[in-house]
């Protein structure tokens, strides 16, 4: 028997659901003198590489989405910290302007409820740095996404 074409196909589960699948099916014609098993082996590795690039692209999209969420969460927390610092500074100003022992005691009690100002300022700086790092990560992921899109569009894998 003479084999002139071979076909190899493979299913891949994608995403977090076992219902989502991706199917690749490649067919190749065998040239004279070629080994059909070697051709099938090549098809296998082509499909595996294709799946690898597609999976990397999906993971990059997921990472971009989760990084956006992380940035927004960190920005909300930074806003809370800044509001807390502003409240602390208002109380501090009232304390400096306070007259009379009772008024000072009342303000000091409020002041004790809030975080230490230096710790709060340190946390704000850390939060700003965290956001900056997340934004850099997002930028890298977006560049990676474009690179992968171009690889997929041009078949460079």
Per domain, the residue ranges of the chain are: 5-154
Does position 103 have pLDDT exceeding 90, yes or no? no
Task: For residues 45-68, give the mean pLDDT.
Answer: 92
Give the number of other Cβ atoms within 10 Å of residue 15's Cβ.
11
Mean residue pLDDT of the chain comes to 87
Does position 109 have pLDDT exceeding 80, yes or no? no
CA–CA distances in Å: residue 92 to residues 3, 29, 116, 118, 119: 88, 82, 11, 13, 15
Quick one: pLDDT band at residue 117, thresholds 50, 70, 90? confident
| pLDDT at 3 (0 to 100) | 73
CA-atom Rg of the chain in angstroms:
30
Got the DSSP string for the chain?
----EEEEEEEEE-SSSTT-EEEEEEEEEPPTT--HHHHHHHHHHHHHHHHHHHHHHHHHHHHHHHHHHHHHHHHHHHHHHHHHHHHHHHHHHHHHH--SHHHHHHHHHHHHHSPPHHHHHHHHHHHHHHHHHHHHHHHHHHHHHHHHHHHHHHT--
Looking at the DSSP bridge assignments, the partners of residue 11 are 23
CB burial of 139-156 (b: ≥16 within 10 Å; e: otherwise) equals eebeebbeebeeeeeeee
| pLDDT at 149 (0 to 100) | 92
Does position 1 have pLDDT exceeding 70, yes or no? no
Class (C level, CATH) for 5-154: mainly alpha
| pLDDT at 13 (0 to 100) | 80
| pLDDT at 18 (0 to 100) | 67
Find where tokens 């098993």 sit: 37
| pLDDT at 6 (0 to 100) | 81
């Amino acid at each position: 028997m003479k084999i002139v074409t071979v076909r190899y196909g493979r299913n891949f589960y994608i995403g977090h659901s076992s219902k989502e699948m991706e199917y690749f099916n490649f067919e190749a014609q065998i040239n004279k003198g070629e080994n059909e098993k070697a051709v099938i082996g090549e098809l296998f590795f082509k499909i595996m590489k294709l799946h690898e690039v597609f999976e990397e692209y999906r993971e990059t999209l997921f990472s971009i989405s989760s990084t956006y969420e992380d940035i927004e969460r960190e920005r909300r927390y930074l806003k809370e910290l800044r509001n807390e610092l502003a409240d602390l500074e208002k109380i501090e100003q009232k304390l400096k302007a306070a007259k009379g022992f009772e008024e000072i005691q009342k303000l000091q009690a409020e002041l004790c409820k809030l975080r230490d100002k230096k710790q709060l300022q340190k946390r704000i700086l850390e939060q700003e740095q965290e956001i900056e790092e997340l934004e850099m990560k997002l930028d890298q992921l977006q560049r990676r996404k474009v690179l992968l899109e171009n690889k997929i569009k041009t078949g460079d894998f």
